[in-house]
């Protein structure tokens, strides 16, 4: 089961390593991890995607909560939520491929953010699935040079929130 | 406001925290702190011969008293030498504060002389850690360290102190915080009322209940509450290796230690129970045996202060997060409110069954006229000390013999490394106990393997006159390893011999202690009597025991709790 965990953590040196260390030390996997400071500069918010069964997810949530620096933990995939990932892809775009890449970017609502005579860099945001599909489509249209993805970040829909 | 340097703040904070004893070893990065310590008469420092022993001493000190032990070491090797000790404390939830020196802040990351990332190295084995980058941070870091170490599920906390932060020439205003609040840290103390009601009902409805008590009951100082509940409900009580003493081993309701080397009656009771009430225990693999075969017909109730311990290994049907002392108090109130005792099931059939298991007398062993049996040493020790000594242990066969053959009357009387299983723990831990409680008789049960893992501390004992007794069950081999090799590796004794055990008597004497060698069964008790009569001397009893003896009962691997070897020839 794929889970997205949201973590509110003290913005202090070493806090990130405690979270990452917990995952490696207890044999949990991290598929993606994003972290940045929140509107409150003393707090960081982290989003982790992981794969585990329900029992293990419960244990991960409890273990995270046990870390002294962690304020709040919640499982986003527990309820309706919005999740997004940002991707930048640098591709070959010369000859007929140039138009094909542009068309694909338009279909996926991507933006071309950098251009050279022979290459495009496309920016795309969306769910992990959408990004995967875009890479597959681009791969058929042209040669992919470089891909960078931000990892998932997410927020609950509706009134539910993760505040200190 | 008073102006102090960083180094002075460290010592003053310890004084304000009420620290009376500290265990450590000086070095380049902590010279300023040691200089401040030199000028402080309230804190007694014990110089060990290896930093690991300092941590075990602080650990023993803590386990014997409940007071948070404190360690001071230098950076690099001083800090890394502490790791085994810290991990030992972490696994057994022992509160402790370790102050480590660090290279100056502007050198951090440059691979400076004696630099180690102590925060990083210790991270998996601490409850929390602090790196003080400014002198002004020291008092609050130390306050938080002591608070975190002792509250919630206790554990070791590291405070890393770079050398420049200690600078004796730079003075800053000092004030020790009275209280500390951390928004991200709020351990749950009282249990959920609805759950407590369910627990009381389940307990009263149980026909075959077992109270399964772990070290958490000792950490929470909840022994009296455990005894009260057990007596009130006439419950059989099994204790873990860490829980020994939380319920008196001499009590008629005690069924002894459970688990891998648990008694027949404890393991049989667990397997056949319809209700298991775990109190401050964590269903360790040395208790459960195969998890899928664990206590098939039991409802599991579990009180623990740490939510991660609940349903980690065995799913709890009635989980209660909270301090054991508080939750058991709440249960008492609930029992009275509900007038629940009059609803309680009759347990006489259950006790009859348990008594038939007791009749098996699983701890009886074959005695000999010519060779001393290890079990016999522990029985003699019990007799000579009248069951009143504080007993520490190393790790191996002697540890299990100690746990099984010395019934502990009270909490904090049995001190051993249960979770990590650290050989070399027992002797320095005993020293820590003796420092904390100089009027108590303190004895370390050890073996010829374990004692050599921290034997250098004979020197510390000489310096500070710490008169512990060492009872070494010398079987000229690594007994537990050998037992496994005999049982599971067709007797191939790969590197489990100690072909060159030293003359321990001479070794003890080299440090101006007393050494006594015992070879014959008839000399055993007199030798122990003689040793314990020497109140002010460290006595090393080197006792030659039967090297062929195994620890029984022993659970059969991959089996249920009731699958046990009972001797070399019998199994359930």
Residue B226 belongs to domain with CATH number: 3.40.50.1220
Please indicate, yes or no, whether residues A107 and A73 belong to a single structural domain of this protein: no
Please indicate, yes or no, whether residues B382 and B350 belong to a single structural domain of this protein: no
CATH number at residue A14: 3.30.70.260
**Is the CB of residue B480 less than 8 Å from the CB of residue B551?**
yes
Query: Per residue in B281-326, pLDDT tens?
Result: 999 999 999 999 999 999 999 999 999 999 999 999 999 999 999 9
Cβ neighbours for B376, distance < 8 A, ≥ 6 positions apart:
B365, B367, B521, B524
Q: Is residue B288 part of a domain?
A: yes
Please indicate, yes or no, whether residues B243 and B338 belong to a single structural domain of this protein: yes
Residues of A with Cβ-Cβ distance to B313 under 8 angstroms: none
Please indicate, yes or no, whether residues B415 and B547 belong to a single structural domain of this protein: yes
By Cβ distance, the residue of B119, B306, B311 closest to A14 is B119
- Rounded Cα distance between B146 and B156, Å, is 9
Q: Which residues of B are catalytic?
A: 51, 113-114, 163, 480
Q: Is residue B423 part of a domain?
A: yes
Q: What is the mean pLDDT of chain B?
A: 97
Please indicate, yes or no, whether residues A70 and A135 belong to a single structural domain of this protein: no
**Helix (H, G, I), strand (E, B), or coil: what is residue A3?**
strand
Helix ranges (H only) for B368-439 are 374-384, 397-405, 426-436
Q: Is residue B530 part of a domain?
A: yes
What's the Rg (C-alpha) of chain A? 19
Helix ranges (H only) for B206-323 are 215-219, 223-233, 264-272, 285-288
Please indicate, yes or no, whether residues B257 and B401 belong to a single structural domain of this protein: no
Q: Is residue B64 part of a domain?
A: yes
Please indicate, yes or no, whether residues A116 and A148 belong to a single structural domain of this protein: yes
Please indicate, yes or no, whether residues B38 and B166 belong to a single structural domain of this protein: yes
**What is the per-residue pLDDT for B245?**
98
Please indicate, yes or no, whether residues B87 and B125 belong to a single structural domain of this protein: yes
Please indicate, yes or no, whether residues A114 and A57 belong to a single structural domain of this protein: no
**Token duo for residue B125:** 């084995």
Position A140 confidence tier, pLDDT thresholds 50, 70, 90: very high
Q: Is residue A160 part of a domain?
A: no
Residue B128 sits at the chain A interface (C-beta within 8 Å): yes
Q: Is residue A159 part of a domain?
A: no
Please indicate, yes or no, whether residues B144 and B57 belong to a single structural domain of this protein: yes
Mode of pairing for the β-strands spanning B318-321 and B254-257: unpaired
| H or E stretch at A90 | strand A81-92
Q: Which of A29, A44, A78 is the last residue of a domain?
A: A78
Establish how many alpha carbons lie within 13 A of residue B382's alpha carbon, considering only the half-sphere containing its beta carbon. 18
Q: Is residue B560 part of a domain?
A: no
Find where tokens 């599991």 sit: B300
Please indicate, yes or no, whether residues A116 and A69 belong to a single structural domain of this protein: no
Residue B129 sits at the chain A interface (C-beta within 8 Å): yes
Query: Per residue in B88-100, pLDDT tens?
Result: 999 999 999 999 9
In chain A, what are the helix, strand and coil shares in percent, each to the nearest 5?
Answer: 30, 40, 30
Quickly list DSSP for B30-81.
Answer: GHHHHHHHHT-SSSEEEE-SSHHHHHHHHHHHHHHHSSPEEEEE-STHHHHT
Angle, CA of B342, B343 and B345, to the nearest 5°:
110
CATH number at residue A97: 3.30.70.1150
Please indicate, yes or no, whether residues A109 and A56 belong to a single structural domain of this protein: no
Asked if the model's pLDDT at residue B18 lies above 90, the reply is yes
Residue B131 sits at the chain A interface (C-beta within 8 Å): yes
Angle, CA of B472, B410 and B560, to the nearest 5°:
75
Residues of A with Cβ-Cβ distance to B151 under 8 angstroms: none
Q: State the residue range of the domain holding A62.
A: 2-78
Please indicate, yes or no, whether residues A33 and A97 belong to a single structural domain of this protein: no
pTM: 0.96
ipTM > 0.90 for the complex: yes
Cα dihedral across residues B50, B51, B55, B58: positive or negative: positive
| H or E stretch at A59 | helix A54-66
Quickly list DSSP for B510-533.
Answer: HTT-EEEEE-SHHHHHHHHHHHHH
Among candidate residues A82, A86, A72, A94, the one with its CA nearest the CA of residue A141: A94
Please indicate, yes or no, whether residues B421 and B451 belong to a single structural domain of this protein: yes
Q: Is residue B181 part of a domain?
A: no
Q: Which of B334, B358, B382 is the last residue of a domain?
A: B358
- Judged on CB neighbours under 10 Å (0-12, 13-18, 19+), B87 is buried
Q: How many domains does chain A have?
A: 2
CATH number at residue B390: 3.40.50.970
Please indicate, yes or no, whether residues A49 and A105 belong to a single structural domain of this protein: no
By Cβ distance, the residue of B129, B183, B308 closest to A63 is B308
- Rounded Cα distance between B239 and B237, Å, is 6
**What is the per-residue pLDDT for B497?**
85
**Token duo for residue B496:** 């489990």
Mode of pairing for the β-strands spanning A81-92 and A153-156: antiparallel
Q: Is residue A122 part of a domain?
A: yes
- Rounded Cα distance between B420 and A94, Å, is 62
Position B339 confidence tier, pLDDT thresholds 50, 70, 90: very high
Q: State the residue range of the domain holding B465.
A: 374-551
Please indicate, yes or no, whether residues B169 and B235 belong to a single structural domain of this protein: no
Asked if the model's pLDDT at residue B103 lies above 90, the reply is yes
**What is the per-residue pLDDT for B499?**
79
Find where tokens 């609040």 sit: B181
If phi > 0 it is left, if psi is from -120 to 50 it is alpha, else beta; for residue B502 that is: beta
In chain B, what are the helix, strand and coil shares in percent, each to the nearest 5?
Answer: 40, 20, 40
State the nearest Cα–Cα gap between B286 and chain A, in angstroms: 19
Angle, CA of A60, B126 and B423, to the nearest 5°:
110
Give percent of chain B with pLDDT exceeding 70.
100
Position B500 confidence tier, pLDDT thresholds 50, 70, 90: confident
Q: How many CB atoms lie within 10 A of CB A67?
A: 21
Residues of A with Cβ-Cβ distance to B307 under 8 angstroms: 62, 65-66
CA distances from B190 to A58, B195, B306, B326, B411 (A): 22, 11, 12, 6, 22
Please indicate, yes or no, whether residues A113 and A142 belong to a single structural domain of this protein: yes
Cβ neighbours for B523, distance < 8 A, ≥ 6 positions apart:
none
Q: How many domains does chain B have?
A: 3
Please indicate, yes or no, whether residues A93 and A146 belong to a single structural domain of this protein: yes
Please indicate, yes or no, whether residues B349 and B224 belong to a single structural domain of this protein: yes
Q: Is residue A36 part of a domain?
A: yes
Q: Which residues of B142-175 are buried (b: 16+ CB within 10 A; e: fewer)?
A: bbbbbbbbbbbbbbbbbbbbbbbbbeeeeebebe
Please indicate, yes or no, whether residues A9 and A73 belong to a single structural domain of this protein: yes
Q: Is residue A158 part of a domain?
A: no
Q: Which of A20, A47, A78 is the last residue of a domain?
A: A78
Among candidate residues B22, B53, B38, B2, the one with its CA nearest the CA of residue B142: B22
- Rounded Cα distance between B294 and B168, Å, is 59
Cβ contacts from A onto B, under 8 A:
36
Position A164 confidence tier, pLDDT thresholds 50, 70, 90: confident
- Rounded Cα distance between B372 and B107, Å, is 58
Residue range A46-72: mean pLDDT, rounded: 96
Please indicate, yes or no, whether residues B218 and B166 belong to a single structural domain of this protein: no
Cβ neighbours for A142, distance < 8 A, ≥ 6 positions apart:
A91, A92, A93, A97, A100, A101
Q: Is residue A69 part of a domain?
A: yes
By Cβ distance, the residue of B120, B184, B311 closest to A17 is B120
Asked if the model's pLDDT at residue B338 lies above 90, the reply is yes
Among candidate residues B389, B378, B421, the one with its CA nearest the CA of residue B242: B421
Residues of A with Cβ-Cβ distance to B184 under 8 angstroms: 9-10, 68-71
Q: Is residue A37 part of a domain?
A: yes
Q: What is the mean pLDDT of chain A?
A: 96
Position B498 confidence tier, pLDDT thresholds 50, 70, 90: confident
Q: Do B184 and A13 touch (CB under 8 A)?
A: no
Please indicate, yes or no, whether residues A112 and A67 belong to a single structural domain of this protein: no
Q: Is residue A139 part of a domain?
A: yes
By Cβ distance, the residue of B129, B131, B307 closest to A62 is B307
Residues of A with Cβ-Cβ distance to B306 under 8 angstroms: 66
State the nearest Cα–Cα gap between B102 and chain A, in angstroms: 16
Residue B124 sits at the chain A interface (C-beta within 8 Å): yes
Residue range A69-95: mean pLDDT, rounded: 96
- Rounded Cα distance between B498 and B391, Å, is 25
Q: Do B123 and A63 touch (CB under 8 A)?
A: no
Q: Is residue B187 part of a domain?
A: no
Position A37 confidence tier, pLDDT thresholds 50, 70, 90: very high
Q: Which of A55, A78, A101 is the last residue of a domain?
A: A78
**Is the CB of residue B406 less than 8 Å from the CB of residue B435?**
no
**What is the per-residue pLDDT for A45?**
97
- When scoring A55, A66, A67 by the number of chain B Cβ atoms within 10 A, the one with the most, hence best to mutate, is A66
- When scoring B122, B125, B184, B283 by the number of chain A Cβ atoms within 10 A, the one with the most, hence best to mutate, is B184
Please indicate, yes or no, whether residues B396 and B526 belong to a single structural domain of this protein: yes
**What is the per-residue pLDDT for B1?**
87
Residue range A106-116: mean pLDDT, rounded: 97
């Amino acid at each position: 089961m794929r889970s997205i965990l949201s973590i509110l953590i003290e913005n202090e040196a070493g806090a990130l390593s405690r979270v990452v260390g917990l995952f490696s030390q207890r044999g949990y996997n991290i598929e993606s991890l994003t972290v940045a400071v929140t509107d409150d500069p003393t707090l960081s918010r982290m989003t982790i995607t992981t794969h585990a069964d329900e029992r293990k997810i419960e244990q991960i949530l409890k273990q995270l909560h046990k870390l002294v620096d962690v304020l709040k933990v919640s499982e986003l995939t527990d309820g309706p939520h919005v999740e997004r990932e940002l991707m930048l892809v640098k591709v070959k775009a010369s000859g007929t491929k140039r138009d094909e890449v542009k068309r694909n970017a338009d279909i996926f609502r991507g933006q071309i953010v950098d251009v050279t005579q022979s290459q495009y860099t496309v920016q795309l945001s969306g769910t992990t699935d959408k990004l995967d599909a875009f890479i597959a489509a681009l791969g058929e249209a042209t040669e992919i040079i470089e891909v960078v993805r931000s990892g998932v970040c997410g927020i609950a829909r509706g009134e539910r929130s993760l505040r200190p | 406001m008073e102006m102090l340097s960083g180094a002075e703040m460290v010592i003053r904070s310890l004084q304000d925290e009420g620290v009376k004893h500290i265990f450590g070893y000086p070095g380049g990065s902590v010279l300023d702190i040691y200089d401040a310590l030199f000028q402080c008469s309230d804190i007694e420092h014990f110089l060990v011969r290896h930093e690991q022993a300092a941590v075990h001493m602080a650990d023993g000190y803590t386990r014997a008293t409940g007071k948070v032990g404190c360690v001071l070491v230098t950076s690099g090797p001083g800090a890394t030498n502490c790791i085994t000790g810290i991990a030992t404390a972490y696994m057994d939830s022992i509160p402790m504060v370790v102050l480590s020196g660090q290279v100056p802040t502007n050198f951090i990351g440059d691979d400076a002389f004696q630099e180690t990332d102590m925060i990083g190295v210790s991270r998996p084995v601490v409850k929390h850690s602090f790196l003080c980058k400014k002198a002004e941070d020291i008092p609050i870091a130390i306050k938080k360290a002591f608070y975190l170490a002792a509250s919630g599920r206790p554990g070791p906390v590291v405070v890393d102190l770079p050398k420049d932060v200690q600078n004796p020439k730079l003075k800053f205003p000092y004030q020790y915080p009275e209280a500390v609040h951390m928004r991200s840290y709020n351990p749950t103390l009282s249990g959920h009322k609805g759950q407590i009601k369910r627990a009381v009902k389940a307990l009263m409805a149980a026909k075959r209940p077992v109270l399964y008590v772990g070290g958490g009951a000792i950490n929470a100082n909840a022994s009296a509450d455990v005894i009260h509940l057990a007596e009130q409900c006439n419950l059989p009580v099994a204790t873990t290796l860490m829980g020994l003493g939380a319920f008196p081993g001499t009590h008629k309701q005690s069924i002894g230690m459970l688990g891998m080397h648990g008694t027949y009656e404890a393991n049989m009771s667990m397997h056949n129970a319809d209700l298991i009430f775990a109190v401050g225990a964590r269903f360790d693999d040395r208790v459960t045996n195969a998890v899928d075969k664990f206590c098939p017909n039991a409802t599991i109730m579990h009180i623990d202060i740490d939510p991660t311990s609940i349903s980690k290994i065995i799913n709890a049907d009635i989980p209660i997060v909270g301090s054991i002392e508080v939750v058991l108090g709440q249960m008492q109130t609930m029992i009275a409110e509900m007038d629940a005792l009059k609803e309680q099931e009759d347990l006489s059939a259950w006790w009859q069954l348990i008594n038939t298991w007791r009749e098996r007398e699983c701890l009886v062993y074959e005695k000999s006229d010519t060779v001393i049996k290890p079990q016999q040493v522990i029985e003699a020790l019990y007799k000579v000390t009248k069951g009143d000594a504080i007993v520490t242990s190393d790790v191996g066969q002697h540890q299990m013999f100690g746990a099984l053959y010395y019934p502990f009357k009270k909490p904090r009387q049995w001190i051993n490394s249960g979770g990590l299983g650290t050989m070399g723990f027992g002797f320095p831990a005993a020293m820590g106990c003796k420092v904390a409680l100089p009027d108590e008789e303190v004895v370390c049960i050890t073996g010829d393997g374990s004692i050599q893992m921290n034997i250098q501390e004979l020197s510390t004992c000489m310096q500070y006159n710490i008169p512990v007794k060492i009872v070494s069950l010398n079987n000229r081999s690594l007994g537990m390893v050998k037992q496994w090799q005999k049982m599971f590796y067709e007797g191939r004794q790969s590197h489990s011999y100690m072909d060159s055990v030293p003359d321990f008597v001479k070794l003890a004497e080299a440090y101006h202690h007393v050494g006594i060698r015992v070879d014959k069964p008839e000399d055993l008790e007199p030798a122990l009597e003689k040793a314990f009569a020497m109140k002010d001397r460290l006595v090393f009893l080197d006792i030659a025991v039967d090297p062929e003896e195994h620890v029984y009962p022993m659970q059969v691997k991959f089996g249920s709790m009731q699958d046990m070897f009972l001797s070399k020839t019998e199994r359930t």
